Structure 1
Amino acid sequence: MKYLTIICNILFYIPLIGQYIFPILISNWIINWIMFALLSVLLPLAYSKSLVSHSTEIKVGIQLPKKLNGFLVLFCLSVGLHVFSSQSLIYVDNILNNGFESQFNEAQLFEKTYVDNAEEDNKFVAQAIYIDYGVAVQFKLNSGGYTIFEPSSSDIESYKENEAINLKVKNLNKFNTEQSKLAMYFSLFQIFIFLLIAQMNLYWLNRKANKKINKDT
């Protein structure tokens, strides 16, 4: 039990603090997967073993509840961190999406290029449309006529920069969505494994104890 407690704590805390001490090592996904898998298996084993030990070994009854609580706390923290990570990524996605949403929809934006505003205002809207969408549209002049917006070199550069930013945001949203799903899958996997292994180990330990009792009698 002593070694299980130490190992479980090491497997839980190393990924958290290791990214600051050994960033290259901990950033390796294979190492992270191995530590996560070991923790997911050892926690239910330690938990079930501590239950049986607590019920049979009165001598260490004062220490075992602390270890038992420790295993449960580590399990809850591990699952909770994955859930928190998943929800945080979703929240970041929402912020990014809201930050890049236009104040007007496309139809309203294009409409503002030919309403009875000042020519400079209509031209400004046409310029904004080009920077956002890369499309040169007509805008209304003070004389009542229309002309196509001609982007300057700075407008073209702004459009390219805006397009690059939008691409980065899109890729970041995709990455966050995938990581959010992965974190949630980790949580579900860990809960399932914990319940399965703990139940199986409890059954095996109880059966082993019953065999020993029957043998002694």
Structure 2
Amino acid sequence: MTTGTLYTYPENWRAFKALIAAQYSGAQVHVLSAPPHFHFGQTNRMPEFLCKFPAGKFPAFEGDGGFCVFESNAITYYVNNEELRGSTPEAAALVAQWVSFADSGRVPPASAWVFPIMGITHHNKQAAQNAKEEVRRILGLLDAHLKTRIPPLTCPRVPLCWVTARTPTRTHCLWHCHISGSTLMRMASPCDTQSIVSLKSSLGSS
């Protein structure tokens, strides 16, 4: 069983992926995200931290045996188990496919839509509308795909790709006032039985 420490700042959605995966795989992950053990912008600049994690990025994971890895998808992969990563080359390839799709297909439009609301970037009405339409299109694609598969969150063995595909949308859209009441906004857990369709429907009504 994997055991170790996850360094991150509070409410980092990229760290959520690894924590959700750890819950399903049984990995024991201790989180350091607050003083005195962790100071955002300081801890990651210290020589001892950079010796383990040269990029100085969060999240970062250090196993109890000394193994160190950064980048959220790599950490999520590591704290998972073989069954959830894909037990055949074909299954593993599909997991990698959806993990990549989550980063390249959904994070950019979700960020373009939500970041202006958060004040991180300047608001552009047309750009925000385009991003919202793209998020709707991608969620429709995911929903259509999942309808032909076993409902992923009613099964205790949740594929790694579902964790990584679901988390960015859950977190980005949590900040949007029009859909903050969506049942999809809850953190993924074995008892969560909601489909992407709940978010997709709320997008259509906002």
Whose RCO is larger (CA < 8 A, sep 6+)?
Answer: 1
Q: What is the TM-score normalised by the length of structure 1?
A: 0.28
More helix by share: 1
Q: What is the TM-score normalised by the length of structure 2?
A: 0.30
